[in-house]
Structure formats: C-alpha cells, structure tokens
Structure 1
Amino acid sequence: MADPHPSRPGEREDRRSLFQKLVEFIKPGPDSTDELIETLAEAEDKELIGAESRVMLEGVLRLADMTAGDAMVAAPRMDLLDIDAPYEELLHQVITTAHSRFPVYQGERENVIGILMAKDLLKLQRAPELNLRTLLRPAFFVPESKGLNDLLRAFRVNRNHLAMVVDEFGRTAGLITIEDVLEQIVGEIEDEFDIEGDEGDIFALADSTWRVAGDTPLERVNESFGVHLGADPDGDLEVDFDTIGGLIAHEMGHVPKRGETFSMGGLDFQVLHTKGGAVRWFKVSPTPASVD
C-alpha cells in the first residue's frame, strides 16, 4: 500500500544525521569572500574541483569587488584615431596596432566622438567619397567607479565591446574592453600574437625577419642571432636585464609603444604588440648596412 503521506523535498533535506548537524553548527559555511576563497582552495586540495575551476571561480568572486578603473587601459596608453588624419595614416595605425575597435577623436584626445570598427575602414578604400564620420558608432561612456559585474552585463545587453572610462570630473581616464573584463575571470586571453611553448619565443617569418617575444631571455636572443646584447664589459649598466623587452625599454628610456623601432647590436626591433605596459612581440630584422 502506498504511503498516504510521502516525504516532501523539504522534509528529506532535514533528515540529516546528528553528526552532520553538529559539524555544521561547529563549523558554519563561509560568510565572507575571503573565507569562500579559502573554501575553494580546500576543495581543490581534496580534488573536489580542478585548479582551473578554482582560479575561474575566484575570478568571479573578485570581479564583484572590482571597478572599471581597476581593469582599464590608462589614457596615456590608449590607441586613438584622429578624425582629420589622412586615410593612409589611419590605415597604417590600424594595421600596426592590430585592434578591432578604435576610439576616434577630433582636435584633442579628450574629445572622443565615436568608435570605428577596423573592418569599416575598408569601406573607404572601396568608396573614397564616404565620410569617415558616417562609419563611426556611438561611444559608450562609463564612470571609473562602475562595477565590473554591471559593466559585463551592460556589454552583453548593449552589444558593446569597448567603453570609454571617465573620472569624477568627466575627463577621459582610459578605456576598457569586454576582453579586459573577462580576463579578470579566466586569466589572460590569448590572441593571434600569443603563442605558447618553451621554444616558442622566436619565429622566422616569410620576409626573412623574425618575430621575437618581449620576455625572451637575452641569452637566447644572443645565441639565436649571434649578437652580444646586454653585454657590459665596461660596467656601465647599473642593472642586469634578463629579457630583450626589459633591455630595450631601458635603452629607449620609456616603455616602447606599438610601431616604435629601435636599433641595437646590428638588429632593428619594431614593436608589434604591447599589453599591460610591456612589449609582447617585436619584429626583428638585420640593420641595413650603411652606404658611404
């Protein structure tokens, strides 16, 4: 005969042993983000979740405490296009920086009037009579204090992938992309310039040049190209450098920007890609012999 009073879901949940209830009373669940992160670490130690899952979950938790100002690209490092620049100059900058979206300004860099998709620039090549302004898309502005959770939601709803960040006085503080937000959760997102591998720091290109990662050890660069970069027989260098990017930044006196070139030791280094204030990739070629 069927039970006339079957157990309800809520009743089943209450059928815990006295030991379980005692453990929960003595050691309650986490009541703060830090405690929850510690709990995730314990779960990884017990092999209940994997390391990548723990890192991602921690990123989600920390995202709630971060703002646009924490993850943005600061204004001095933004790549902008001038609405009044010649087409050839715009095209060169788009190719050199390799972004898919660009803030466009008029007059002063502070005066951002819209966003240009790199693919839209090709329309000018096919129809030069078009006005660049007609290709601009509205710029999306957010305050520095905007939470990344809210910003990610806004990116999804508005289908924007880039936002201009303004400070409390309405001045441009920087820009932030949906990739910048997602990287807070999943870590750095690899792009076409990012190639992993222990031996993946120097690549020969079809035009007899090389692509060299900025964090390539100087010893490997010297060995590969038969040069002696970083060698300091006179003891003039106050700091020893481990990577080619660090040495070139020191020699140039500033963090190199995309498109900049520097010659050293018989080699020309052109900055292909930067990220986080450091050079990710150089294009390297032999310095042309001077003609007397």
Structure 2
Amino acid sequence: MSEPPSGRPATRGAAAAPPGDKRSLFERLVEFVSPGPDSKDELIKTLADAEQRELIEPESRLMLEGVLRMADMSAGDVMVAAPRMDLLDIDAPYDELLGVVISTAHSRFPVYEGQRDNIIGILMAKDLLKLQRAPELNLRTLLRPAVFVPESKALNELLRDFRSNRNHLAIVIDEFGNTAGLITIEDVLEEIVGEIEDEFDERERENGIYTLADGTQRVAGDVTIEAVNHAFGVDLPTADFDTIGGLVAHELGHVPRRGELAELGGLRFSVMLTRGGAVRWFRVSRIAAGDVPS
C-alpha cells in the first residue's frame, strides 16, 4: 500500500536540493533569485559593481582582479625577453662588472660564460663588493645556483615556488631548453598589486628625474616634455605630446620595449622598464659629438 500524500507541497526549482546539499532553504532561494557569476569575466564585472556601490575600495578591486587574471598567465607572459636581459660575463674584469651593476641598479644578475645563453649562476650585487676587499676571491665562488622554469609555468605556481624556495629570480627557458628570458618575484607581484616602487622612487617623486651613479639620468615615462627640456637644456617639441614617454613611443612607431634606444634632440633614451604597455623608466644620456647613431 502506498503512503498517503503529504499535505506539504514538494519543493521545486531553487528550493529542491540534490542529495548531499547541506545548504539551507534560504541559501538556495537566494541563489535562485540572485545567481552568482558563471565565469571569470562575470566575476570581474561583479567586483566592479561592488566598487561602484562602495562595498570594496578601488585598490581592493584591482588586487582581486589581478589575482584572477594572474591565474591565466604564465612566466612567458611577464618575463623580460632574453635580448633585453642585463647579464654579467664571468670573464669580464671587475671594473666592467661594477659598471654594469651601477648603471642598471639591479640587485641580482644572471652570469653567463662564453655565450649569453649559457647561464651558469646568479650574482648578488652586494656579493660583488667582496672582491674589493679580497681581490684574490674567485668570482665563481660568489655565484648562487640559477633557477630555471619553463615559459608555460603558471604565475600562481611560480609565486608559490618563489615563496617556498626563497628565490627572487628565475631564468625562463623555451621548449628547446634555450634561454627565453628572466622573471623576478617583483614581476609576479606587480601583476597583483600594481607597480612596486623601490627606494629610488621616493627621491624621484618630485620631478621624476634622478641622477645615476654613472652620470646618466633616470627619467620616468610620465615626466612632462617641458621638465625634460628644462633639466637637459634641450628643445624637444611639446605641441603634440605631453609626456616624454608619448613622444618616444611616437618616434619609435610602436610601444617601446625594454632595452630599445631612441635618439631625440641630442639625447639618447634607453628603455629601462615598461609596465602596462607604457614606459615606466628611461635612462637618458647626452649624445657626444661624433657618436654613431644607434
């Protein structure tokens, strides 16, 4: 004999829960009336809406978006390409090595032997100073092991490796085992939090122009052309562009890449750092009489 029908109607739609669903009836009804995002793009739109309703701060939204987008990025998307890497030659004299360290202002350098593609280790800039006090030291003894990762390495996995292994730099290799570029922990973190300013940036905020140890100037890409003209005593055109980054990009005909050179008004602009499709820093020097254009 079948059981008599219950006086309670059967639940349907959002209220009907599959076996094992421990959500309350209220929680299922809320999801039915206002379903959550079904894709990453919808989730990003939801974050933007939350910001507009002042539920989260703009900085929080940007960081959350950075985390979401980073999950789809690999080391090859963020790396500094091999031709634009600042390297040290293991056989170079000390003065030459020191000059590279001073002019580039990095804290870590890949070291190669013979060919640039043959990376044999990583040198900390501070370790190079040990050669001043003990010239008899062999530079090889100061090298630290290089970490190699494939171009396809996911950024979230790479960040986890950086943290667990306490590495700050990795050499990126292509599918054939050749050096494709390098990537630092700062490169990865900047995909989440935006640009990380270093100790030089505090001093550069006044006008975006800072004198380096070798006598050249480090100039921010968003510095006005008028400021560059005043600092260097030149007469670059100001009619069509406001910033020096915009003017250099126009002269090159494309978005500048790290390591590229441009010569304007007697000045040589070398791209030091790019972020978000724009130049963050140039190294600027005067073109000496008789110099051959690059």
Q: Same fold by TM-score, threshold 0.5 exceeded?
A: yes
Partner deviation per Cα, 1:185-229 (whole Å, 9 max, x = no partner): 001111234359986334689999976433322234335665422
The match for 1:264 is 265
The answer to whether the 8 Å contact 1:142/1:166 transfers is yes
The whole-number CA distance in structure 1 between the counterparts of 2:215 and 2:168 is 36
SS at match of 1:185: helix
| Corresponding residue to 1:221 among 222, 228, 240 | 228
Cα RMSD after superposing both structures: 3.8
Residue 274 (1) aligns with residue 273 (2): yes
The answer to whether the 8 Å contact 2:112/2:120 transfers is yes
Length-normalised TM-score, structure 2? 0.75
SS at match of 2:118: strand
The whole-number CA distance in structure 2 between the counterparts of 1:154 and 1:213 is 32
- Given residue 58 of structure 2, which amino acid in structure 1 is its aligned partner? A
Q: How many Å apart are 1:169 and its aligned residue?
A: 0.8
More deviation in 134-143 or 42-51?
Answer: 42-51
The whole-number CA distance in structure 2 between the counterparts of 1:165 and 1:205 is 29
More deviation in 193-202 or 30-39?
Answer: 193-202
The match for 2:4 is none
Q: How many Å apart are 1:29 and its aligned residue?
A: 1.5
The whole-number CA distance in structure 1 between the counterparts of 2:140 and 2:51 is 53
What percentage of aligned pairs have identical amino acids?
66
The match for 2:128 is 121
The match for 2:9 is none
The match for 1:243 is 243
Q: How many Å apart are 1:115 and its aligned residue?
A: 0.3
The match for 1:4 is none
The match for 1:138 is 145
The answer to whether the 8 Å contact 2:216/2:283 transfers is no
| Corresponding residue to 2:40 among 28, 33, 39 | 33
Residue 190 (1) aligns with residue 197 (2): yes
Residue 14 (1) aligns with residue 24 (2): yes
- Given residue 170 of structure 1, which amino acid in structure 2 is its aligned partner? G
The answer to whether the 8 Å contact 1:271/1:279 transfers is no
More deviation in 254-263 or 54-63?
Answer: 254-263
Length-normalised TM-score, structure 1? 0.76
- How many matched pairs? 265
SS at match of 1:156: helix
- Given residue 14 of structure 1, which amino acid in structure 2 is its aligned partner? S
The answer to whether the 8 Å contact 2:222/2:244 transfers is yes
More deviation in 213-222 or 249-258?
Answer: 249-258
The match for 2:118 is 111
The answer to whether the 8 Å contact 2:218/2:281 transfers is no
Residue 147 (1) aligns with residue 154 (2): yes
The whole-number CA distance in structure 2 between the counterparts of 1:180 and 1:208 is 27
SS at match of 1:174: strand
| Corresponding residue to 1:43 among 47, 50, 67 | 50
